[in-house]
Structure 1
Amino acid sequence: MNNTTYTDEFNELWKKESELKSRWGNIIFCVAYLVGYPATSILYFLRDDPAFPEVLAAELVLSGITLFLLILHFGGKLSAQKASFYANLALVPVHAYILAEVPHASYDRASLNMTLGLMFSFFVLRWPVHYSIILTLFVLTIFPTALYYRHPDYLFNFFSQGGLFFFLGQMLFPFMMYFHESRNKHEFFYLFSLAEQNDLLERQKQIAEDATLAKSEFLSTMSHEIRTPLNGIVGIVHLLEENKSRSEEEMELIETLKFSSIHLMAVVNDILDFNKINSNHVKLHHATFDIEDLFKNLYNSFLPRAREKGLELTADLSPNLPQLRGDQVRLSQVITNLIHNAIKFTDSGFVRFSVTELERTNNGIIKLEFAVSDTGIGISEDQQANVFEIFTQVRSLVKRQDGGTGLGLAISRELVRLFGGELMLASKLGEGSVFSFKIALPYSAIVKGPAKPEKMLTPTLNTTAKVLVVDDNATNLIFATNLLKRKSIPYDLASDGKQAVEKYFSDQFDLIFMDLRMPVMDGFEATRLIRERDPQIPIVALTASAFQDERERALASGFSDYLVKPFLPPDFYKIVYAHIGIEE
């Protein structure tokens, strides 16, 4: 890679990195010449060479310069690269002086020593290329000049007795430094680029996480904002529906309003369900259930709608199916979606849902195939690939009254994947469709016994009980209080948590319905204050949030129960009977 591709930021980082990586090699070079170079003068002393004092003096001068450079480096005044560079520059004239002024019987030993010193430099020094070029030009200029100026024959002797190899090695020195620097710089650039990419990915990951969190918070807020008025609509519709004195035209309008409110509730639930699945907030809860009972309930639920359209509805089960262990609610949700779609898009013929045993192992696992088939409009091959995508419907064939969110199949596919299966489709345009999936579930060897007749219990109410309803939405208060009036249950109202706490301390209540999100003081704080005085009083969280973490937070904060808006009268009364009812 060409240096021109390096940014200024990278070059600045590389300069620091290069200094850091080469620091100890440069220091070792300086220390080696600081100590080792004067030691070579001992050879002159042992040979009783009269030039010993002169050589020792020159080498001590070099050691002094090197020591001064090291002091500057450790004092933070000079980089290690510059210290070794200046020491090497000082070494050149000292060498040249000894070669030119001290008589040599032969230059073989001097050439060898200088060549070994150069090789030592190859291994320990890591310089910028321009340092090595400057040094090489200095050596090629000073050495020949010094030798030739005083004794021309010295230069010839030096070349012929090994000096030529030293000069050739010195000419290779810049290439060696270039090779090391280029390789190390490319490696550092790779790591630098990788770090930049990691930082970018980390930022993108953070952006994605923030977006997901924002989406969840938005949906949670919108859930509350939509469900709260929707609860009022659903509640008022049920109250109006019970008034039998209205004209047939008014009852028809109320029925239409009821249908629209239920449809809107289904849309909201679909959107929240898909968000929970997408955010990995949906976990399967395993419990033992009877598949025959599940199919019976599904059949009874859809039979009126099938008869209304003149369709034959059948449920087929393999014989002798055992008790299963799995998430019955989510499995029912998948099959319900498929049956609902089958009836919606079938105008004549039949809708059949079935479960077939494929395999049963000795270790308690049974493999089943669930299928929902119909004789409806069918789906063309080019549209089948998109039918499981979110917000997608078979547009050209969907009638106005059959519209929906387009989330049902997308949710069903994801739920089937949680079970470890894959939702499959086989269809021909105009001939109907078959949706199927295969899953493996644990099963119980316990055989289902004959059904026992259930004792009918008639719930009654504790007529002395008093209920406090806390909600900042006036419509929700009207709905809840009307339900209480019908059962002649005494009640009182509060529009925020502060009022609720004040009324609780001034009166006696047996049950509290507490909204979670309110102005002045929210339901969590109000419940905490009430719990400090009475840990036993039932407090039901009355909330528009259907998220599991909100439910867990409420129950962990002292709430006794959890009722999600919009709710129907039976749901409300079930809570009331559970806490202040008496079964006779």
Structure 2
Amino acid sequence: MKTINLLIIDDKQENIIALEALIKRSDINIISTTSPNDALRICWEKDIAIALVDVQMPKMNGFELVEILKNNVRTKDIMVIFVTAISTEAKYAIKGLNAGAVDYLYKPLDPYITSAKVDAFIQLVRTQREIKKKNEQLEKIQHDLIKAKEDAEQGKRAKENFMANMSHEIRTPINGIIGLLHLLKQSSLDESQLEIVNLIDVSSSSLLGVINDILDLSKIEAGKFKISLAKTNIYDIVTQAANLLSVKAKEKNIALNLDIDPQLPKIIMADSLRLSQIFMNLLSNAIKFTNQGEVTFKIEVPEKNNNLVHIKFIISDTGIGISKENIDTIFNTFEQADNISTKVYEGTGLGLSIVKKLIELKGGSLEVSSELGKGSTFIFSKWYKFVDDNESEKTEQEPQTLQKFDGLKILIAEDNSINVFLIVKILNNWNIETHVVTNGQEAIDALAQDQFDLILMDTYMPVMNGLEAIKKIREGYAPGKETIPIITFSAGVLDSDNETAYKAGANDIIGKPFKVNVLHEKIAKLTQKN
């Protein structure tokens, strides 16, 4: 136990000796002096917890000494007990307490009372110091927590900024590829050319899916991921996945078999993009780890109930398999089954982690069975709502030709030349007159000088980005044009990207890559032209 410094101040040495004899104990370090001035020095230099101060002393009495101690920040917390032989009248006690003392001891000293009081105050000092120590620890913990929170928020902002920039930089050129393929499909192509274009289209969507894997993983971990249900042709989803990956299978001289239960409904309510991600990841994994034999993609319908159907998607292979001790690790982010397979088979280790998270979010289940050297089987099963045959036929009808926008004039603010070519080509096909600028400042200048029915504004541009330009337009930098409809193009995938755009003043948002019919619908809605 740490000793406590106790100071005795009395102008008579015999009184000091008597007090020392009464209170001497192992956990107290007694310091004494007959001089008030020397006492002040000791209190300044040493950590004095308790001071026993005689009231009547020459040159400086006890009241004056205590007043000096209490007015100094360094010594104000010392517990002072007056030791006095003067009258026990209340006025003297009040004077001492007002000066800052905590108690009185009256001469001649009662040894039991003196010892008891000193013990009590020593215990009080220890308690106060322990509380002070705990408070300092709590303050440090609080400071550390605040700093950790600030660091985490800064890291989160940096991560979101990185994701937004990466999304824009990668998804923008993919938007150009997919858009150009859309235009190419509308030209005269023979059957083999159309097949190649369709494969490029599926490959582009697959590449987009890989990018989305990384972005989706962050969104899932942040609890910001959403499943969007819509009418989905499940036959198209599974056959596209199998057709696309059949090229990889052929390169490895292995068979890729597709076996669809005839009881499978054609149209189900599902998130087609996420289903495609799941199938592409599982099939790609199976082909990657199979060097001979085959991969089988089997779809079973164990049960139907009213408008609900239980579907099992079974992907099995004759590949290297997974050992029992490693089977639980394959769903960990950035991990493969073991170090050897990581060296032999390249990959991010993201696929199965995302598949498991997506399936859990969709309310499904994922089972895996495997034997080392003999292959693996993954079974994804879920109940889906399905659409009857009449509604299926309506869903699969060819879309009507998109109507023209005669007399419409649109300002396009976009710095990517491929996207400019794509958007202008699409809009011109709808009889829309276009004017192109490459940054936000040029957009404001063009708007101030000419009349437009609508602005298509890219989010990320040099000189002035799209969001800054929208804010300035809404603030009146192009007088009289504050309410012009504005659609922003965004390659961002975070909900906060959309919130930021709406807050800046955008009327609507269209993502990159975009669907042509969605762009047509948004333009029609904002310009009230059908």
Shorter chain as normaliser: what TM range? 0.5 to 0.7
1:554 pairs with one of 501, 508, 513:
501
Q: Are residues 1:314 and 2:259 paired? A: yes
* Structure 1 segment 183-332 matched on structure 2, within 5 A: 183-232=127-176, 264-284=207-227, 293=232, 295-305=234-244, 309=249, 310-316=255-261, 330=274
Deviations 1:247-277 (A, max 9, x none): x99x99x999988866653432222222222
| 3-state DSSP of counterpart to 1:384 | coil
- In the alignment, structure 2 segments of 5+ residues that lack a partner are 5-43, 250-254
Q: 1:357 to 1:265 in 2, by over 3 A?
A: same
**Following the alignment from structure 1 to structure 2, what is the Cα–Cα distance between the partners of residues 499 and 527?**
12
**Following the alignment from structure 1 to structure 2, what is the Cα–Cα distance between the partners of residues 350 and 259?**
20
- Partner in structure 2 of residue 493 of structure 1: 436
Q: How many residues align?
A: 458
1:516 pairs with one of 447, 459, 471:
459
Following superposition, the deviation at residue 214 of structure 1 comes to 1.2
**Following the alignment from structure 2 to structure 1, what is the Cα–Cα distance between the partners of residues 263 and 134?**
62
- Partner in structure 2 of residue 181 of structure 1: 125
Deviations 1:269-298 (A, max 9, x none): 22222222223322445x5x66xx553342
Q: 1:470 to 1:451 in 2, by over 3 A?
A: same
| 3-state DSSP of counterpart to 1:381 | coil
**Following the alignment from structure 2 to structure 1, what is the Cα–Cα distance between the partners of residues 205 and 267?**
35
Q: Are residues 1:352 and 2:294 paired? A: no
Following superposition, the deviation at residue 199 of structure 1 comes to 2.4
Q: Are residues 1:542 and 2:489 paired? A: yes
Pairwise CA RMSD: 5.6
Q: 1:356 to 1:328 in 2, by over 3 A?
A: farther
**Following the alignment from structure 2 to structure 1, what is the Cα–Cα distance between the partners of residues 353 and 224?**
16
**Following the alignment from structure 1 to structure 2, what is the Cα–Cα distance between the partners of residues 452 and 77?**
84
Following superposition, the deviation at residue 430 of structure 1 comes to 3.9
**Following the alignment from structure 1 to structure 2, what is the Cα–Cα distance between the partners of residues 78 and 374?**
77
Deviations 1:49-84 (A, max 9, x none): xxxxxxxxx9xx9xxx78878987998899777684
**Following the alignment from structure 2 to structure 1, what is the Cα–Cα distance between the partners of residues 73 and 336?**
74
**Following the alignment from structure 2 to structure 1, what is the Cα–Cα distance between the partners of residues 244 and 343?**
17
Following superposition, the deviation at residue 186 of structure 1 comes to 2.8
Q: Are residues 1:427 and 2:370 paired? A: yes
| 3-state DSSP of counterpart to 2:156 | helix
Question: Residue 79 of structure 2 contacts residue 101 of structure 2 at CA under 8 Å; is this kept in 1?
Answer: no
Q: 1:451 to 1:257 in 2, by over 3 A?
A: closer
Letter in 2 for 1:451: E
**Following the alignment from structure 1 to structure 2, what is the Cα–Cα distance between the partners of residues 244 and 76?**
95
Q: 1:338 to 1:560 in 2, by over 3 A?
A: farther
Following superposition, the deviation at residue 494 of structure 1 comes to 0.7
Following superposition, the deviation at residue 396 of structure 1 comes to 5.0
**Following the alignment from structure 2 to structure 1, what is the Cα–Cα distance between the partners of residues 213 and 333?**
11
- Partner in structure 1 of residue 353 of structure 2: 410
| 3-state DSSP of counterpart to 2:353 | helix
- Partner in structure 1 of residue 37 of structure 2: none
| 3-state DSSP of counterpart to 1:338 | helix
Deviations 1:342-401 (A, max 9, x none): 46655615212456569x9xxx9x99685533124233334433322223345755899x
- Partner in structure 2 of residue 502 of structure 1: 445
* Larger helix fraction of residues: 1
| 3-state DSSP of counterpart to 1:300 | helix
Letter in 2 for 1:413: K
Q: 1:396 to 1:236 in 2, by over 3 A?
A: farther
| 3-state DSSP of counterpart to 2:294 | coil
Following superposition, the deviation at residue 168 of structure 1 comes to 4.5
1:480 pairs with one of 423, 426, 434:
423
Identity %: 26
**Following the alignment from structure 2 to structure 1, what is the Cα–Cα distance between the partners of residues 137 and 157?**
30
**Following the alignment from structure 1 to structure 2, what is the Cα–Cα distance between the partners of residues 77 and 505?**
67
Q: TM-score, normalised by structure 2?
A: 0.65
**Following the alignment from structure 1 to structure 2, what is the Cα–Cα distance between the partners of residues 230 and 3?**
74
Letter in 2 for 1:215: K
Letter in 1 for 2:223: N
Question: Residue 416 of structure 1 contacts residue 422 of structure 1 at CA under 8 Å; is this kept in 2?
Answer: yes
Q: Are residues 1:374 and 2:326 paired? A: no
Following superposition, the deviation at residue 474 of structure 1 comes to 3.1
Letter in 1 for 2:464: M
- In the alignment, structure 1 segments of 5+ residues that lack a partner are 5-11, 20-25, 35-57, 99-116, 144-162
Deviations 1:464-516 (A, max 9, x none): 43443211233432343345566665422111223223333444444432111
| 3-state DSSP of counterpart to 1:559 | coil
Q: 1:2 to 1:422 in 2, by over 3 A?
A: farther
